[in-house]
C-alpha cells in the first residue's frame, strides 16, 4: 500500500466518522475532505473545484429549480387532492398517495415531492381519524423508492452514470435505471401499503382530533399570568386539576428569572411564566382559563402604519426541512418577529426533550413550529423562512400557467430519452424557458436550489476521483475479491449492495455513491465481469436508506409531524431493505448481465 493510498483511505474514514457524528454540516465535511486531499497532494490544484462544472452537479441544480416551478403550477396539488378523495378507505388513500409520490420522485426532487404531498396525507389522516404516523413514513419511503427509477430521480443515479462514462465511455440513459428501479419501487410500495404500516408503533392521538391532526407528542410553549387573570392567587395544581387533559409543566419562572421550586404548590402571581409541554388543545384550554401566550405579541404592519389587528392574525403549523438555513438558530438570532412578521408560539420535537425557554431553543430539522402572523402574507412569510406548511394549500389553478411548465419539462425529458443532448443541457434549457415565460422568477430558482447539496457533490466528486487515481479503489476491490474467495458474482453483488446500504443509512447518499462507485468498478475488473451490474447495485444501495431518520432527508422531514422516534424507522425499514436486497440481487443480473 502506497503513502497516497493510505492518505486517501484515512481521509475517507474521517469523512464517514464526521458524517455519522453529525455536528458539522455535510457541505463543510465535503470541503474539508477536498482541501485535505489538495493539501496532501492527492488532487492537483487546477482540478480541485472541477466538480462545480460536473454534469451531475448541473443536472441536480436544474432538477431542483424545475421541481419548484412544477410545484408552483398547482397541477400536482390538484392531482394529489383528487386522488385522496377518490379512495374512501385508509388503505386505498395510502396506496394512491404512495403511488403518486413514487411516480413524481422519478422526475423531480424527492424532497419536493414529499413536501407537496405531506399536507394532503395529514388532511387524509384528519378526515379518516387515524394517526398521521401511519401514513407519513410510508409516503416518505415511497418518494425515496421512486427516485430509483430514472437517471434524474436522485443524485446517486447521476453520479453512478458519471462513473460509468469514465469507465466505459458512455453513461446510463434516462430510463436505464427503470429496468431495476421500477420493479423495486412497485414491490416496495406494495409492501409499505399492505404490511409496512402495521410494523409502526401506535403513538399519539388520532389524526382527526380537532385542530391537532399531527402525532407530535408535545408542543413546548410559554404561558403568562396577565393582570386581572382569574388564576391569580390560586395554586398551580388546583388550576391544572380543573383541566381535562392538562399539559406537563416543566418550570414556573417569576420576575428576575427566579425559578419557583415546589412547583405544584406554588400560588400563581401576576407575571408568572409557565413553561408547558402538551398538545394544542390542552394549551388552548389553559389560555381559556386565564393565561396568555408569552410569544403572542403585537405584530407591526410591513408598511409601518401600525399594528396588525387581532382579527387579521392566523396560526399555521410548519416543519423545518433538512438543511434549512434556520437550523441551529433561535427565533432571536433570525429576528423572527421584525424580519418576517411572525410570532413563534410553540415548538414540538420528536425524539429529544425540550429543556429550555422558547426563545433559547435552537431549531432542528424536523421540528414542528406553531407560528402566528398576518393571514394575508402568512404563506409568503413561511416560504421566506424556508419552512414547509403542514396544511393543504388552496390553489386556484390557472390552466395557462400550469401547461407551460409541464410542456417544457415534458419536452426536456423526451429529448433526453431520445439522446438529443445531455440531461444537464436540456433540463437547464427547460428551466431557462420557465424563467423567460415567467413561470418562476430567477430569485425563486436560486432559492429553490439546495446549495448545501451542490457544494457537497462538487467537493466529493474530486475526492472520489482521488480514490481512483491513487489506486486505492482498485486495492479495496481486489482485497474484497480475495477475502470472499471463490464466491459467485451475484454473491459479491449482494455484498456490495449491503455495504452500500449500510453506509447510506449513516451518511449522505450522494457521498456514499462517490465512495462506492470506484470500488464497484474495481471489483468488476478484479473478477472479470461487466461494471454495469455492480454500479447498478451501488445506485440501489445508495438510495435505500430506510433504517434511520438521518439516512435520507425525507426520513427526517416526517419525524416531527409523524411523532416518530429514532428507533421507529428500522421497524419498517429493515424488512423493506431485506426485500429490496433479495429482489435486486435477482433482478440486476437479468437486466444487466455479468
Q: Does residue 544 or residue 219 have the better pLDDT?
A: 544
249 φ, ψ (degrees, to nearest 5): -100, 115
Mean pLDDT score across all residues of the chain? 85
What is the pLDDT confidence band of residue 300, given thresholds at 50, 70 and 90?
Answer: low
CA angle (534 as vertex; 532, 536 as ends), nearest 5 = 70
Helix, coil or strand: residue 251: strand
What pLDDT does residue 351 have? 57
Q: Phi/psi of residue 523, each to 5°?
A: -65, -40
**Mean pLDDT on 550-576:** 88
End-to-end CA distance of the chain: 29
Q: How far apart are CA 312 and CA 333, in angstroms?
A: 26
Q: Is the pLDDT of residue 215 over 50?
A: no
Predicted pLDDT of residue 305: 55
3-class SS of residue 307: strand
> Would you say residue 155 has pLDDT above 60?
yes
- Return the pLDDT at 149: 95
Tens of pLDDT, residue by residue over 327-379, are 889 888 888 888 888 888 888 877 565 666 777 788 988 888 888 888 878 88
Query: What whole-number distance in Å separates Cα of residue 502 and Cα of residue 548?
Result: 10
8-22, 83-97, 455-469, 569-583: the lowest-pLDDT one = 83-97
Structure confidence by residue, pLDDT tens digits, 102-114: 999 999 888 888 9
Residue 42 phi/psi, 5-degree rounding, is: -85, -25
pLDDT at 205: 43
pLDDT of res. 258: 66
Range from 208-217, 358-367, 520-529 carrying the lowest mean pLDDT: 208-217
Q: Please report, for residues 58, 60, 132, 425, 451, the alpha-carbon distance to residue 455 in angstroms, rounded to integers and kept in the order given.
A: 11, 11, 34, 20, 6
- Asked if 128 contacts 208 with a C-beta cutoff of 8 angstroms, the reply is yes
Over the stretch 391-409, which tens digit does the pLDDT of each residue have?
765 554 555 567 888 899 9
State how far the alpha carbon of 242 is from the alpha carbons of 236, 237, 265, 285, 552, in Å. Answer: 10, 9, 15, 10, 44
* Between 485 and 38, residue with greater pLDDT: 38
Q: What is the mean pLDDT of residues 59-76?
A: 85
pLDDT for 218 equals 61
**Does the fold of domain 310-389 match that of domain 219-283?**
yes
Kindly state the percentage of the chain with pLDDT values over 90. 41
Backbone CA torsion sign across 352, 357, 361, 367: positive
Task: Let me know if domain 219-283 sits in CATH 3.30.70.1450.
Answer: yes
- Region 15-37: what's the mean pLDDT? 90
Distance separating alpha carbons of residues 295 and 335, to the nearest angstrom: 13
**What CA–CA distance (Å, rounded) separates 468 from 475?**
10
Grid cell for residue 341? 412578521
| Mean pLDDT in residue range 503-525 | 91
Give the mean pLDDT of 475-488.
Answer: 84
Whether this model's pTM surpasses 0.95: no
What pLDDT score does 298 carry?
58
The predicted structure's pLDDT at residue 141: 96
Alpha-carbon distance values, 154 to 43, 148, 204 (Å): 27, 7, 33
Please enumerate in sequence order all residues whose Cβ is within 8 A of that of 309, keeping only pairs 6 or more positions apart, or say none.
Answer: none
Pairing of strands 342-348, 219-224: antiparallel
Q: Choose the weakest-confidence range: 21-35, 210-224, 240-254.
A: 210-224
Mean pLDDT calculated for residue range 483-511: 89
Interval 244-284: pLDDT, tens: 878 888 788 887 566 676 776 788 988 888 888 877 777 87
pLDDT recorded at residue 428:
95
Burial of 217: CB neighbours in 10 Å, binned 0-12, 13-18, 19+: middle
> Residue 49: pLDDT band by 50, 70, 90 thresholds?
very high
Where along the chain do its domains lie?
219-283, 310-389
CATH of domain 310-389: 3.30.70.1450
- Kindly report the CA angle at 260 between 259 and 263, in degrees rounded to 5? 130
Q: Which residue has the cell 414556573?
A: 252
**Cβ(283)–Cβ(276) below 8 Å:** yes
Pick the closest to residue 544 from 585, 498, 590, 491 (CA basis).
Answer: 498
CB-based burial of residue 360 (10 Å sphere; 0-12 exposed, 13-18 middle, 19+ buried)?
exposed
What's the distance, CA 250 to chain centroid? 31
Output the DSSP codes for 468-516.
HHTSHHHHHHHHHHHHTTT--HHHHHHHHHHHHHHHHTTS-HHHHHHHH
Burial of 234 (0-12, 13-18, 19+ CB in 10 A): middle
Residue 410 above 80 pLDDT? yes
Does pLDDT of 210 surpass 60?
no
Q: Which residues of 95-130 are buried (b: 16+ CB within 10 A; e: fewer)?
A: bbbbbbbbbbbbbbbbbbbbbbbbbbbbbbbbebeb
pLDDT at 22: 78
As a whole number of angstroms, the distance between CA 397 and CA 74 comes to 6
Amino acid at each position: 500500500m502506497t503513502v497516497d493510498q493510505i492518505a486517501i483511505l484515512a481521509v475517507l474514514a474521517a469523512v464517514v466518522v464526521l458524517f455519522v457524528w453529525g455536528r458539522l454540516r455535510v457541505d463543510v465535511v465535503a470541503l474539508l475532505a477536498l482541501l485535505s486531499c489538495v493539501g496532501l497532494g492527492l488532487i492537483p490544484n487546477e482540478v480541485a473545484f472541477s466538480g462545480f462544472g460536473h454534469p451531475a452537479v448541473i443536472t441536480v441544480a436544474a432538477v431542483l429549480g424545475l421541481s419548484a416551478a412544477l410545484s408552483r403550477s398547482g397541477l400536482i396539488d390538484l392531482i394529489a387532492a383528487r386522488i385522496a378523495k377518490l379512495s374512501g378507505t385508509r388503505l386505498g388513500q395510502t396506496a394512491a398517495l404512495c403511488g403518486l409520490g413514487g411516480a413524481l420522485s422519478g422526475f423531480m426532487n424527492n424532497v419536493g415531492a414529499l413536501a407537496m404531498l405531506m399536507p394532503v396525507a395529514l388532511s387524509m389522516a384528519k378526515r379518516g381519524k387515524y394517526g398521521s404516523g401511519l401514513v407519513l413514513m410510508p409516503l416518505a419511503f415511497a418518494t425515496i423508492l421512486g427516485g430509483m427509477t430514472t437517471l434524474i430521480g436522485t443524485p446517486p443515479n447521476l453520479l453512478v452514470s458519471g462513473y460509468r462514462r469514465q469507465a466505459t465511455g458512455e453513461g446510463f440513459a434516462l430510463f436505464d435505471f427503470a429496468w431495476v428501479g421500477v420493479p423495486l419501487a412497485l414491490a416496495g410500495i406494495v409492501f409499505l401499503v399492505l404490511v409496512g404500516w402495521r410494523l409502526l408503533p401506535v403513538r399519539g392521538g388520532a389524526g382527526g382530533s380537532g385542530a391537532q391532526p399531527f402525532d407530535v407528542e408535545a408542543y413546548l410553549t410559554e404561558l403568562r399570568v396577565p393582570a386581572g387573570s382569574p388564576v391569580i392567587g390560586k395554586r398551580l395544581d388546583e388550576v391544572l386539576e380543573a383541566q381535562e387533559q392538562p399539559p406537563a409543566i416543566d418550570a414556573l419562572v417569576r420576575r428576575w428569572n427566579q425559578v419557583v421550586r415546589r412547583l405544584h404548590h406554588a400560588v400563581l402571581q401576576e407575571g408568572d411564566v409557565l413553561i408547558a409541554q402538551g398538545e394544542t388543545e390542552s394549551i388552548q384550554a389553559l389560555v381559556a382559563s386565564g393565561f396568555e401566550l408569552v410569544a403572542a405579541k403585537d405584530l407591526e404592519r410591513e408598511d409601518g402604519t401600525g399594528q396588525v389587528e387581532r382579527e387579521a392574525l392566523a396560526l399555521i403549523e410548519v416543519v423545518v426541512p433538512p438543511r434549512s438555513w434556520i437550523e441551529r438558530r433561535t427565533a432571536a438570532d433570525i429576528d423572527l418577529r421584525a424580519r418576517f412578521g411572525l410570532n413563534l408560539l410553540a415548538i414540538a420535537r420528536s425524539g429529544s426533550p425540550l429543556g429550555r425557554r422558547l426563545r433559547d431553543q435552537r431549531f432542528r430539522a424536523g421540528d414542528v413550529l406553531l407560528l402566528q402572523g398576518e393571514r394575508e402574507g402568512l404563506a409568503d412569510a413561511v416560504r421566506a423562512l424556508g419552512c414547509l406548511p403542514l396544511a393543504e394549500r388552496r390553489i386556484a389553478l390557472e390552466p395557462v400557467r400550469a401547461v407551460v411548465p409541464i410542456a417544457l419539462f415534458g419536452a426536456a425529458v423526451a429529448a433526453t430519452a431520445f439522446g438529443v443532448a445531455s440531461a444537464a443541457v436540456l433540463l437547464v434549457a427547460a428551466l431557462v424557458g420557465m424563467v423567460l415565460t415567467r413561470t418562476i422568477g430567477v430569485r425563486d430558482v436560486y432559492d429553490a436550489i439546495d446549495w448545501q447539496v451542490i457544494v457537497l457533490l462538487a467537493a466529493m466528486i474530486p475526492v472520489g476521483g482521488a480514490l481512483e487515481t491513487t489506486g486505492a479503489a482498485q486495492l479495496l476491490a481486489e482485497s474484497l475479491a480475495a477475502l470472499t474467495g471463490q464466491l459467485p458474482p451475484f454473491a459479491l453483488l449482494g455484498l456490495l449492495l449491503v455495504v452500500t446500504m449500510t453506509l447510506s443509512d449513516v451518511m449522505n447518499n450522494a457521498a456514499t455513491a462517490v465512495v462506492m462507485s470506484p470500488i464497484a468498478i474495481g471489483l468488476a475488473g478484479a473478477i472479470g465481469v461487466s461494471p454495469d451490474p455492480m454500479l447498478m447495485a451501488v445506485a440501489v444501495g445508495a438510495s435505500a436508506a430506510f433504517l434511520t431518520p438521518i439516512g435520507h432527508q425525507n426520513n427526517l422531514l416526517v419525524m416531527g409531524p409523524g411523532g416518530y422516534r429514532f428507533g421507529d424507522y428500522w421497524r419498517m425499514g429493515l424488512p423493506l431493505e431485506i426485500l429490496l436486497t433479495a429482489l435486486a440481487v435477482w433482478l440486476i443480473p437479468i437486466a444487466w448481465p455479468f
